[in-house]
Structures are given as structure tokens and as C-alpha cells.
């Protein structure tokens, strides 16, 4: 799907999700043929002409100004991450499709490896832009994917992918008491990444694979929700140590990592909480393993 089509689908979907009564628009008892706002209603709220907005949805109007995009974002009641996504889609539709090519394998920088090594008591994993696991420490492997080969991230062709695990792996699905919330966060983040990297063929292949293999993913992807997975709290049900509540935080990397879309995902627990005790128990029962990346020693709590 090209940038124009993505922009049009995003606008149409989000417009259909707005209810007129929520915006104070009277319906006078009339029956609407389609859900959500009409184009003319959205255009009026955004302060643009109906014909202009229609062309924008249909991919016939390029180079929309940032001011117009922000006005449409306000009319659609988009959150900040969604507003940025709208700008990314508009930029992609204006520049046209780039030369699609499969990106080179991602690598963890030495600085990131040192940070991962320092996080002794905290489960941590390094993920690439598409959610591929590039490295993890011992506790991160034990918490998120203890059923997988600990050395898998060191082999690019065998790296686990967090989206695949959440949607296609029974062990990972069972880890989350509220699996739909975790799944929606994963899809929302993938939508955000797709807007930033519209020419990433590997990302398109991943979305196609998940859409074909998971009806849940296909349904959530069609919803066009965008989520910046910065901080979220989840109740996890670990098969070795039982339930624990963790706060998952995604830390964006600096030069050398951020440009590639790499992140460090850490899971923390409240001080003096049962979850903190459970996490310490997991550290004790987890087998030690070799480093997931040369130069990154295995860590343990």
C-alpha cells in the first residue's frame, strides 16, 4: 500500500470512529448510511473546504501544510502520537514511494551493550524498529521468552520478533492477563513505525504475515490506532514463578540507535511489592546463559 492509500485509509477510519453526538453535532433523528462523521462535518470542524478534504482522503491533494494537518488532527481528536503519524503519512504521500529495499541486519551498539550489562536486577531487551529482539540480559530472557533459545538474538535469521510472539506464540499470549491490551499496544506501535519508515519492505512483509496468520492482528491493524509504547503496566502470569505486575518502559536510543528505531524495553516493579519478590525469585531459578551478543556478558540478579 502506498503513502496516499495509507493516508486516505487513516483519515477515513478515524473519521468513522467519531460519533456526531460526542462533538455536539445534531443529527435531527436522521439515519446515517455509514458510521461516524460525514466528510463535510469533519471539514467544517477542521476549517477546510469539503472539496479539499475529500481530495486529501482520496490521495488527490498533495503537500498539505502542517497547519492544515494540525487542524484536521484536532478535528479528529488525535493524540500526540497520532498527530505525528498523520504528518508522517502526509509527508510520505507527498514524496511518493521510495526505492524499497530490505534493510541491513540491525546491530546493537557498544554503548547499548554496556547499558544492558549494567541492568543487573532489571529484565531488559533491546529491540529493533520492527520489534526484532537484538539482545537481552538473563532476566529479560527469563521474563519475556524463557521458552526460547537464549542465544537466538545473536543470529539475525533466528531473532525472535515481539509482534510474532504476542500474536502467534501461545507461551507469550498466556503471559499477559490482559492480552488484548498488550496486543493493541503492539499493533499501535507497528502503525507508528510504518508511518516513519514507509519503504521498509521487511516491515511490510511482517504486517502481511501477521495479517494472514492472525485474525486478531488483521482486525486491530484495520482499526488504524496509533500508540507510542512508552510506559504501560501489565499483569503477567509467568509459568515458573506465577503472577506479577510490571511496568514496561521503552527507552529510545541516542545516535546510532535512534536513527535505526532501536529501543531498550525494561520491566520494573514497585519497591517492597510482591512483584519485586517474585522477580527476585525468577532471577534465582533462571538458568545462566551465554551472551546474546559478542561483548555483552550474561547478567544475573
**What is the per-residue pLDDT for 217?**
97
**What is the per-residue pLDDT for 299?**
34
Smallest CA-to-CA distance from 78 within 190, 230, 229, 226 is with 226
With beta carbons less than 8 A apart as the criterion, state whether 156 and 133 touch: no
**What is the per-residue pLDDT for 234?**
97
DSSP assignment of 88-132 equals HHHHHHHH-----BPPPPP---HHHHHHHHH-SSS-EEEE-TTSB
Q: How far apart are CA 178 and CA 173, in angstroms?
A: 9
With beta carbons less than 8 A apart as the criterion, state whether 230 and 184 touch: no
Q: How far apart are CA 64 and CA 236, in angstroms?
A: 44
User: Which residues have CB under 8 Å from 287's CB, separation 6+?
Assistant: none
Overall pTM surpassing 0.85 (yes/no) = no
**What is the per-residue pLDDT for 259?**
46
With beta carbons less than 8 A apart as the criterion, state whether 139 and 124 touch: yes
Q: Other C-beta atoms within 10 Å of 196: how many?
A: 16
Q: Which residues of the chain have pLDDT under 70?
A: 1-3, 26-31, 61-62, 94-103, 253-261, 287-301
Query: In terms of DSSP bridges, do strands 242-252 and 263-268 run parallel, antiparallel, or are they unpaired?
Result: antiparallel
**What is the per-residue pLDDT for 174?**
97
Smallest CA-to-CA distance from 282 within 221, 229, 216, 237 is with 237
**What is the per-residue pLDDT for 296?**
44
Smallest CA-to-CA distance from 44 within 64, 67, 23, 58 is with 23
Torsion of CA 279, 284, 289, 295, to 10 degrees: 60
**What is the per-residue pLDDT for 21?**
77
b/e string for 231-267 if b means 16 or more Cβ within 10 A? eeebebebeebeebbbebbbeebeeebeebbbbbbbb
Amino acid at each position: 500500500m502506498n503513502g496516499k492509500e495509507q493516508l486516505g485509509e487513516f483519515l477515513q477510519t478515524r473519521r468513522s470512529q467519531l460519533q456526531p453526538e460526542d462533538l455536539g453535532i445534531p443529527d435531527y433523528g436522521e439515519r446515517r448510511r455509514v458510521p461516524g462523521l460525514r466528510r463535510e462535518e469533519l471539514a467544517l470542524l477542521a476549517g477546510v473546504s469539503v472539496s479539499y478534504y475529500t481530495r486529501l482522503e482520496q490521495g488527490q491533494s498533495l503537500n498539505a501544510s502542517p497547519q492544515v494537518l494540525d487542524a484536521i488532527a484536532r478535528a479528529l481528536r488525535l493524540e500526540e502520537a497520532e498527530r505525528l503519524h498523520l504528518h508522517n503519512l502526509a509527508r510520505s504521500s507527498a514524496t511518493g514511494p521510495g526505492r524499497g529495499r530490505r534493510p541491513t541486519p540491525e546491530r546493537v551498539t557498544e554503548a547499548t551493550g554496556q547499558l544492558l550489562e549494567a541492568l543487573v536486577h532489571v529484565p531488559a531487551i533491546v529491540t529493533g524498529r520492527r520489534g526484532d529482539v537484538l539482545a537481552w540480559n538473563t532476566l529479560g530472557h527469563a521474563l519475556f521468552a524463557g521458552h526460547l533459545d537464549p542465544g537466538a538474538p545473536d543470529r539475525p535469521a533466528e531473532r525472535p520478533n515481539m509482534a510474532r510472539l504476542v500474536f502467534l506464540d501461545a507461551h507469550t499470549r498466556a503471559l499477559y492477563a490482559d492480552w488484548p491490551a498488550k496486543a493493541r499496544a503492539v499493533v499501535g506501535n507497528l502503525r507508528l513505525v510504518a508511518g516513519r519508515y514507509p519503504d521498509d519492505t521487511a516491515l511490510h512483509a511482517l504486517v502481511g504475515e501477521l495479517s494472514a496468520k492472525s485474525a486478531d492482528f488483521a482486525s486491530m491493524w484495520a482499526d488504524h490506532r496509533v500508540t507510542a509504547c512508552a510506559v504501560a503496566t501489565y499483569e503477567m502470569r509467568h509459568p515458573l514463578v506465577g503472577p506479577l505486575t510490571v511496568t514496561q518502559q521503552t527507552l529510545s536510543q541516542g545516535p546510532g540507535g535512534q536513527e535505526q528505531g532501536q529501543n531498550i524495553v525494561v520491566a520494573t516493579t514497585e519497591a517492597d511489592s510482591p512483584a519485586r519478590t517474585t522477580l527476585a525469585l525468577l532471577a534465582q531459578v533462571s538458568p545462566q546463559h551465554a551472551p546474546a551478543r559478542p561483548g555483552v556478558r550474561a547478567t544475573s540478579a
